[in-house]
């Protein structure tokens, strides 16, 4: 039996254990014994939590505020981890502890599904793992917020071949990300330019925990696009989203091609891609979806 877990603080209300249990409930033994176990390893002391992982677990998810510290511990680091300087998933391997970033892969899977609804999700996931992504041409993206999720979003959008603009309350933080990753050619704009940048972008990835100034002034025209894919908005916050159902219903009525990707889907696909890396087995996505009551 393999053991997995989540370290971070606080994490008592995390949905990760329920998602993991749903992902592999069908692989339990005839006596009901689980093939895999997933537990919370809560505590403010990173070193104590990390020690518990090395002694008792085969892999762990990592959440705030430990993603950068966990990255520093890894022996083998995936390309997206090296670019973001953070990991949310560590796995023990014969070669040493390997770091991944399933925030990144969850964003990619969410966007690819919106861009290519005709393709099966498993095929899109295979393309991500094989690093053979079908990149759209000529599309632009706005990433709002430059925290851990925002940086993962920026790298994912860059790897998708999008022209990316970064907006953050602290402009210097966005400028530092752009300077550290010159291969993407990230543009940086002030937060005061949010509405104009929103209107110009084909894809918007909104990672801020709350509404930015100007968000409630957006009109149907701001949600239009000349892209053949329709305007796409991915929002990270699934507990208290800034784009309320009332706002979205009005926008959807004005722009039927507009696509909204809620934070719950991002979380679901982050877990889906991450749990597969843990076990080497495809998780039961349908059962995981039911955790959200969808």
- Catalytic residue set: 67
175, burial (CB in 10 Å: exposed 0-12, middle 13-18, buried 19+)? middle
Distance CA 195, CA 250 (A): 17
CB neighbour list of residue 47: distance below 8 Å, 6 or more residues apart: none
Distance CA 89, CA 128 (A): 17
Cα–Cα–Cα angle for 152, 6, 291, rounded to 5 degrees? 85
Q: Phi-psi category of 280—alpha, beta or left, where left has phi over 0 and alpha has psi -120 to 50?
A: left
Tokens standing for residue 61 = 């998810």
For 32-100, give the DSSP string.
S--SEEEEEEE-S-HHHHHHHHHHH-SEEEE-TT-HHHHHHH-SEE-HHHHHHT--SEEEEETTEEEEE
Closest Cα to residue 212, out of 199, 231, 225, 193? 193
């Amino acid at each position: 039996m393999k053991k997995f877990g989540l370290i971070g603080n606080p994490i008592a209300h995390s949905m990760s254990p329920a998602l993991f249990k749903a992902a592999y409930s069908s692989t339990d033994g005839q006596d009901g014994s689980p093939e895999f176990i997933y537990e919370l390893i809560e505590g403010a002391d990173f070193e104590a939590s990390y020690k518990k992982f090395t002694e008792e677990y085969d892999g762990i998810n990592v959440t705030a505020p430990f993603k950068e510290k966990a990255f520093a511990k890894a022996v083998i680091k995936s390309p997206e981890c090296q670019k973001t300087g953070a990991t949310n998933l560590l796995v023990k391997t014969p070669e040493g502890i390997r770091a991944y970033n399933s925030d990144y892969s969850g964003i990619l899977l969410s966007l690819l599904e919106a861009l290519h609804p005709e393709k099966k999700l498993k095929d899109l996931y295979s393309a991500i793992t094989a690093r053979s992504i079908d990149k759209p041409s000529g599309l632009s993206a706005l990433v709002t917020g430059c925290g851990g999720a925002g940086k993962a979003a920026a790298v994912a959008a860059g790897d998708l071949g999008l022209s990316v603009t970064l907006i953050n309350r602290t402009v210097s933080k966005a400028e530092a990300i752009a300077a550290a990753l010159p291969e993407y050619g990230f543009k940086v704009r002030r937060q005061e330019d949010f509405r104009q940048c929103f209107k110009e972008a084909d894809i918007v990835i909104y990672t801020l925990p709350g509404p930015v100034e100007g968000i409630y002034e957006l009109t149907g025209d701001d949600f239009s696009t000349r892209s053949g894919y329709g305007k796409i908005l991915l929002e990270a916050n699934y507990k208290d989203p800034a784009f309320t159902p009332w706002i979205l219903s009005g926008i959807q009525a004005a722009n039927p091609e507009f696509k909204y990707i809620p934070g719950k889907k991002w979380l679901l696909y982050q877990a889906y891609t991450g749990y597969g890396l843990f076990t080497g087995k495809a998780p039961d996505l349908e059962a995981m979806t039911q955790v959200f009551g969808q």
